[in-house]
Amino acid sequence: MAAKAGRSVPLGVLLMKEQTSEKIEDPDILYGQANQSKKGEDFTLLKAECQRVPGDGVTTFSVFALFDGHNGSAAAIYSKENLLNNILNAIPSNLNRDEWLAALPRALVAGFIKTDKDFQTKARSSGTTVTFVIIDGWVVTVASVGDSRCILESAEGSIYCLSADHRLDVNEEEVERITASGGEVGRLNVVGGAEIGPLRVWPGGLCLSRSIGDMDVGEFIVPVPYVKQIKVSSTGGRLIISSDGVWDALTFEMVCNGCRGLSADAAASQIVKDAVHGKGLRDDTTCIVVDMLPPEKLTPTVPPPKKQGMGVFKNMFRRKSSESSLHSDRDCLPESDLVEEIFEEGSASLAQRLEADYPIRNMFKLFVCAVCQVEMKPGEGISVHADDSSEPGKLRPWDGPFLCQSCQEKKEAMEGKKTSTDSISRKSSGSE
């Protein structure tokens, strides 16, 4: 039907195209990192060949993560050591690749919360941002809390932002959420009543609304990650994951322009060098560069010079037409830059993030806590919708997913319904 008039495409050709498009080879992954340290609180996790043994044979995926710690490095180190396992444990076994990819966004939420909850029992102070990237084939899934960022530059030079910025200064929605949960948000008061610096949560003075750790600040500083999942076109692209030391000094475009044509390793070094060059080393500055290259092409892609107004800071993703395989090769050319958005969600609400109409809910075990994966007896779990006051009494026994008692308490604490710290002393001078 999409074939142009006067040009009929033999079915055999169509089937062949269908087959080849189904069997696009996985990208080659080349990566490098660089760091200049001031406080020694940045940590990275680089695992290019993680094995997955699913229902349809062994495949590999790659994990790249950046942890930018504050008030000590305990939370960053703990997350580096435990987060990946907690995420993988939240994925049901025996899923095929597509199901596995579909399960990732929810497993990331569970893994982040479990890591935060477990860390709570070990230490109270220190926290960390997390930017966690999983690459499986051409599908990139990014989960983030805090203000480290991950961007993608496609082979054609369009820039996509794949992480959220959870700094209170730029995120009004988060300020409202924290205030509603009992937190106090304001700037630092100095003698004379003047307010200076960025917006912070009091007590504690944290500038971020989400992190792993930070139990001493308040449980409304939640570990629920913003998750974005995309499919990169087979022309490839470059992922750049950096701590705020880079983004405070350079724009997305400056970062991409400054390292174009360099190998991943050299690019990471160049980015850190450029970031530190202007204002000097003011913070831990870390950068991971990951190149996703078409299998046969082992040199970094060198996109042509960017045209004016080309997709910088793209928020909108063009969706790939399902009929594109029916067009001739020439017709397909403009499609090659497509970055397909598969999933995006940033809500802090567990009821929303672990929602019941999750596409593969039936694959999640009914009697296992959706967050910590502990087994529960039938009837013991508490539905994530249990305190959803919009439809009281409408809950059926099978309206999961379910949480164990302990994770239910964590959920209530995150929503400000219970303060785990006995009585939080408020900032004496007030914020207004």
- Which positions lie near Zn ion, rule CB under 5 A? 369, 371-372, 404, 407
Tell me how far, at minimum, the Cβ of 141 lies from Zn ion, in Å. 23
Tell me how far, at minimum, the Cβ of 405 lies from Zn ion, in Å. 8
Tell me how far, at minimum, the Cβ of 221 lies from Zn ion, in Å. 20
Cα(427)–Cα(423) distance, integer angstroms: 13
Question: Residue 240 in 3-state DSSP?
Answer: strand
Q: Which residue has the tokens 């990192």?
A: 33
Q: Kindly tell me which of 67 and 402 has the beta carbon lying closer to Zn ion.
A: 402
Q: Kindly tell me which of 210 and 411 has the beta carbon lying closer to Zn ion.
A: 411
Q: Which residues, in sequence order, are CB contacts of 367 under 8 Å at separation 6+?
A: 375, 376, 377, 378, 380, 381, 402
Tell me how far, at minimum, the Cβ of 371 lies from Zn ion, in Å. 5
Closest CA to 150 of 239, 68, 64: 239
Residue type, 180: A
Q: Kindly tell me which of 241 and 404 has the beta carbon lying closer to Zn ion.
A: 404
Q: Kindly tell me which of 83 and 155 has the beta carbon lying closer to Zn ion.
A: 83
Beta bridge partners of 31: 290
Tell me how far, at minimum, the Cβ of 408 lies from Zn ion, in Å. 8
Burial of residue 296, with CB atoms counted within 10 A of its CB: 0-12 exposed, 13-18 middle, 19 or more buried:
exposed
Could you tell me if 65 and 86 are in contact, meaning their C-beta atoms sit under 8 angstroms apart? no
Q: Kindly tell me which of 133 and 369 has the beta carbon lying closer to Zn ion.
A: 369
Q: Kindly tell me which of 167 and 410 has the beta carbon lying closer to Zn ion.
A: 410
Could you tell me if 246 and 287 are in contact, meaning their C-beta atoms sit under 8 angstroms apart? yes
Q: What is the CA radius of gyration of the chain?
A: 23
Which residue stretches of 190-332 are H helix? 244-247, 252-259, 264-279, 329-332
Tell me how far, at minimum, the Cβ of 404 lies from Zn ion, in Å. 3
